[in-house]
């Protein structure tokens, strides 16, 4: 098993739950399952849901990120999956989080960034999305510390 | 010997084993277990393997763990040679609720069962029993998947093979009281070859395995997924009313990105669907119908799903009939050569003609080249047709006045044997008496790319005879400058699409200018094709092209009308009269 640290960033669109069930409850379910798996596998990352789009960062060993991503790919609750970034990395950016769920601080900005990433996945989309999630996770960390 | 008749027996033995901390007893139990056909693994709450019999190790493709030396099962699974990473993960995930890490997970572990597909084909049936708070016990058995015999299993993906698919389909179609529809979905991956070429075969193989797993993950129990070969898969579904929805779901699933060894290859899938017995009552006709639908899906662009329709069959039959007629057309002398004039943009003089083949079908009339040339290329008939055109064009050109040239198209197929074309050209020139300098051979960029070495060899041989060589449809294919360096072409023919876009596209203007400048600096003539208006003529002249061809001067005319055309063109242009 490789010990190389790998980071994968993708965006996708929610496909079913807007009309069929409560998105918040559904995301809570996704998150519970993903935290359970991730804690075991040493995967960290963050998930953002904003206006029908997901952005997720997965960090961990290449093998396990690969398996985790393949499992996510078979989930029919989302579609139009676009990989924004897939590369080896020196350090984790989301090392504190089994899978942080972030609320967009600025929903309009988040929507714009995800919309752009889905429409034009090349260029800086990966970096922009990681920065967005990183900013949101930090903000939540600050709140947690303040509390 | 098969030590246990049932899982219950095995479990009882294991309970005994645990209750007796007697090493002697344990060794005896181990010996008994090693003779069992079923596989057994005992685990503690840290998921360490505390017991594993030989069959379990064989079924998972493991070297048997050292007894009584606790090894975490997840670590063992990663070394499994029979489970792929997805199977390993599923196995692990099923065990976790039994571990001490998630005591409150609320997930039930009571006799949890799991079905995994082994890499070499058969399926692995797993039952996990919770023994007490600190132990669980796993029993394993291997079954052929859906009773697929091992020799009918594809080694790479573990799916059944083409022959098994046909056999199962035949069984379903001939089953008595078959009321349900049988849906056949033929799946072809798009861009798979490109992945193989750019990332290498190991990545390509891993991709095919993941495709197989994704297919298996969505079909229902009882559906059959097979690998027909290469990047072709098939799914057979029983009792479905709307297979198109499943087709779309498969296309979506297979087109999602894959992550393999850090690479993210992207492929697509096209799917053709046919329903039996509606679209075909027997295996051959049903598969043929699905194949026609797949052909249509690919024609309509990637990532599409098409359900067989009767008109697909009608069209395929028409194509077949056309091909049948095409095979006899040469012998029945149904081809004609028409000629389109090429003029110099500066002097407005007529410089020559391009020979264009036409097929006059006895019932269908004149068939446009775009309907029969691709068919002729596909079948290789183009070689004979091309050579006939060459001989006819040389003979016809002999009757033209002066130094007027004749340009003849050469297909990529005619370059497959590099010795053939020079010989045919030689014969055509000798028979007709046409000087080699009046013959021009037109070759497309794509033909050059396909047969680079042979093509260059052929072109040099032709040039050595004095025949001129031009590059046709320049700008549409690969347009690589290295090709221009690899052979000193006499002429570049600028594709008609650029001329058509001249009035509304600055890019088209820029491309034409660049090609004209390139031609000028390399000493090549540049001919603008498809010039239809005075405005276009003015523009291509202005952009530096030397010659033009198109409806503005004349449409292609039959051989017998060429002299009349020459007379009319030269009466407009008194200078031409002097030159001939």
Q: What is the ipTM metric for this complex?
A: 0.83
Q: Which chain A residues are within 8 Å of B218, Cβ to Cβ?
A: 74, 76
**What is the predicted pLDDT for the residue at A2?**
43
Counting Cβ atoms within 10 Å, is residue A97 exposed (0-12), middle (13-18) or buried (19+)? buried
Query: Of the ranges B143-157, B300-314, B418-432, which one carries the lowest mean pLDDT score?
Result: B143-157
In angstroms, the CA B485 to CA B352 distance is 26
In angstroms, the CA B492 to CA B489 distance is 7
**From the candidate CATH numbers 1.10.10.350, 2.40.50.140, 2.60.40.10, 3.30.450.20, the one assigned to the domain spanning B7-143:** 3.30.450.20
Are the C-beta atoms of B157 and B165 separated by less than 8 Å? no
Are the C-beta atoms of A5 and A61 separated by less than 8 Å? yes
Interface membership of A88 toward B (CB under 8 Å): yes
**What is the predicted pLDDT for the residue at B46?**
81
Tens-place pLDDT, residues B328-357: 998 899 999 999 999 999 998 999 999 999
CA distances from B529 to B4, B143, B334, B539, B541 (A): 83, 66, 27, 13, 12
CB contact under 8 A, B257 and A10: yes
CB contact under 8 A, B262 and A88: yes
Domain with CATH 3.30.70.270 in chain B: 150-308
Max Cα-Cα span within chain B:
118
Q: Which chain B residues are within 8 Å of A9, Cβ to Cβ?
A: none
Tokens (6 digits) for B342 = 């090429």
Instruction: Name, of A4-13, A20-29, B174-183, the range with top average pLDDT.
Output: A4-13
- Could you tell me which chain A residue has the CA closest to the CA of B265? A83
Contacting residues for B266 by C-beta, under 8 A, at least 6 apart = B191, B255, B257, B258
In angstroms, the CA A57 to CA A87 distance is 12
Phi and psi at B64, nearest 5°, equal: -55, 130
Q: Which chain A residues are within 8 Å of B263, Cβ to Cβ?
A: 86
> With 60 as the cut, is the pLDDT of residue B205 above it?
yes
pTM: 0.60
Distance from CA of A37 to the nearest CA of B (A): 8
- Please name the residues between 8 and 37 in chain A that touch chain B, using a CB distance below 8 Å: 8, 10, 36-37
**What is the predicted pLDDT for the residue at A26?**
75
Q: Which chain B residues are within 8 Å of A121, Cβ to Cβ?
A: none
Q: Topology of B320-565 in CATH? A: TIM Barrel (3.20.20)
State the best of A6, A40, A68 to mutate against chain B, taking most chain B CBs within 10 Å: A40
Distance from CA of A55 to the nearest CA of B (A): 15
Tens-place pLDDT, residues B13-63: 666 655 655 556 667 777 788 888 788 888 888 888 888 888 888 888 776
In angstroms, the CA B339 to CA B344 distance is 16
What number of CA atoms fall less than 13 Å from residue B497's CA on the CB side? 8
Our CA dihedral for A53, A59, A60, A62, rounded to 10 degrees, sits at 70
What is chain B's alpha carbon radius of gyration, rounded to the nearest angstrom? 35
Sketch the domain layout of chain A as residue ranges: 5-146
Ordered DSSP codes for A33-75: HHHHHHHHHT-EEEEEEETTEEEEEEEEEHHHHHHHHHHHHT-
Interface membership of B203 toward A (CB under 8 Å): no
In angstroms, the CA A138 to CA A144 distance is 10
* Pairing state between β B182-190 and B123-132: unpaired
Tokens (6 digits) for B6 = 């049932």
**Cβ count within 10 A of residue B377:** 16
Q: For the structural domain made of A5-146, what CATH number should be given?
A: 3.30.70.100
**What is the predicted pLDDT for the residue at B526?**
95
Q: Which chain B residues are within 8 Å of A6, Cβ to Cβ?
A: 262
In angstroms, the CA A134 to CA A126 distance is 12
**What is the predicted pLDDT for the residue at B232?**
96
**What is the predicted pLDDT for the residue at B20?**
54
Domain with CATH 3.30.450.20 in chain B: 7-143
State the best of A14, A73, A89 to mutate against chain B, taking most chain B CBs within 10 Å: A73
Place domain B150-308 in its CATH homologous superfamily. Answer: Reverse transcriptase/Diguanylate cyclase domain (3.30.70.270)
Q: E strands within B411-522?
A: 439-444, 468-474, 491-494
3 state DSSP class of B452: helix
Distance from CA of B193 to the nearest CA of A (A): 21
CB contact under 8 A, A66 and B259: yes
């Amino acid at each position: 098993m490789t010990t190389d640290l790998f980071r994968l960033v993708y965006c996708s669109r929610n496909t079913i739950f807007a009309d069929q069930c409560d998105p918040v409850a559904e995301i809570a379910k996704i998150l519970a399952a993903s935290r359970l798996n991730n804690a075991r596998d040493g995967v960290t990352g963050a998930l953002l849901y904003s206006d029908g789009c997901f952005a997720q960062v997965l960090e961990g060993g290449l093998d396990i990120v690969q398996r985790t991503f393949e499992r996510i790919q078979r989930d029919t609750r989302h579609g139009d999956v676009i990989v924004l970034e897939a590369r080896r990395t020196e350090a984790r950016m989301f090392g504190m989080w089994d899978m942080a769920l972030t609320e967009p601080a600025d929903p309009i900005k988040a929507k714009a960034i995800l919309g752009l990433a889905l429409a034009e996945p090349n260029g800086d989309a990966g970096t922009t999305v990681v920065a967005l999630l990183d900013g949101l996770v930090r903000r939540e960390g600050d709140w947690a510390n303040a509390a | 010997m098969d030590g246990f008749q049932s899982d219950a027996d095995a479990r009882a033995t294991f309970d005994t084993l645990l209750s007796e901390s007697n090493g002697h007893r344990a060794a005896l139990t181990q010996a008994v277990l090693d003779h069992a056909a079923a596989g057994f693994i005992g685990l503690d709450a840290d998921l360490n393997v505390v017991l594993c019999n030989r069959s379990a190790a064989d079924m998972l493709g493991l070297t048997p763990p050292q007894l009584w030396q606790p090894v975490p099962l997840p670590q063992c699974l990663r070394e499994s040679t029979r489970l792929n990473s997805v199977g390993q993960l599923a196995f692990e995930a099923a065990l976790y609720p039994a571990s001490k890490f998630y005591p409150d997970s609320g997930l039930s572990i009571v006799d949890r069962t799991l079905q995994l597909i082994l890499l070499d084909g058969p399926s692995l049936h797993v039952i996990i029993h919770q023994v007490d708070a600190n132990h669980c016990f796993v029993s394993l058995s291997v079954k052929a998947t859906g009773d697929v015999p091992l020799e009918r299993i594809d080694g790479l993906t573990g799916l059944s093979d083409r022959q098994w698919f046909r056999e199962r389909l035949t069984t379903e179609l001939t089953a008595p009281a078959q009321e349900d529809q049988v849906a056949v979905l033929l799946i072809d991956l798009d861009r798979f070859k490109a992945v193989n070429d750019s990332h290498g075969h190991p990545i390509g193989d891993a991709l095919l395995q993941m495709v197989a797993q994704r297919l298996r993950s969505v079909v229902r129990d009882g559906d059959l997924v097979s690998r027909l070969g290469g990047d072709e898969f098939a799914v057979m579904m029983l009792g479905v009313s709307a297979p198109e929805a499943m087709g779309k779901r498969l296309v979506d699933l297979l087109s999602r990105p894959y992550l393999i060894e850090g690479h993210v290859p992207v492929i697509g899938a096209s799917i053709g669907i046919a329903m039996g017995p509606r679209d075909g009552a027997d295996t051959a006709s049903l598969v043929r119908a699905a194949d026609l639908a797949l052909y249509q899906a690919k024609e309509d662009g990637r990532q599409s799903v098409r359900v067989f329709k009767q008109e697909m069959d009608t069209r395929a039959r028409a194509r077949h009939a056309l091909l049948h007629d095409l095979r006899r057309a040469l012998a029945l002398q149904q081809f004609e050569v028409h000629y389109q004039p090429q003029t110099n943009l500066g002097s407005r003089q007529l410089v020559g003609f391009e020979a264009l083949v036409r097929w006059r079908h006895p019932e269908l009339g004149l068939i446009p080249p775009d309907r029969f040339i691709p068919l002729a290329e596909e079948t290789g008939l183009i070689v004979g047709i091309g050579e006939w055109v060459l001989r006819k064009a040389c003979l016809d050109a002999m009757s033209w006045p002066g130094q007027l040239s004749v340009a003849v198209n050469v297909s990529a197929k005619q370059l497959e044997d590099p010795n053939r074309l020079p010989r045919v050209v030689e014969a055509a020139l000798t028979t007709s008496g046409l000087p080699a300098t009046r013959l021009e051979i037109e070759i497309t960029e794509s033909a050059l790319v396909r047969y680079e070495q042979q093509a260059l060899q052929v072109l040099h041989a032709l040039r050595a005879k004095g025949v001129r060589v031009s590059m046709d449809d320049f700008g549409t294919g690969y347009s690589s400058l290295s090709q221009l360096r690899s052979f000193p072409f006499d002429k570049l023919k600028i594709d008609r699409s650029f001329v058509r876009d001249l009035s509304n596209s600055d890019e088209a203007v820029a491309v034409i200018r660049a090609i004209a400048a390139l031609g000028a600096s390399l000493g090549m003539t540049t001919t603008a094709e498809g010039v239809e208006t005075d405005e276009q003529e003015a523009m291509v002249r202005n952009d530096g092209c030397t010659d033009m061809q198109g409806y503005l001067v004349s449409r292609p005319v039959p051989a017998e009308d060429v002299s009349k055309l020459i007379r009319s063109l030269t009466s407009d242009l008194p200078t031409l009269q002097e030159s001939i």
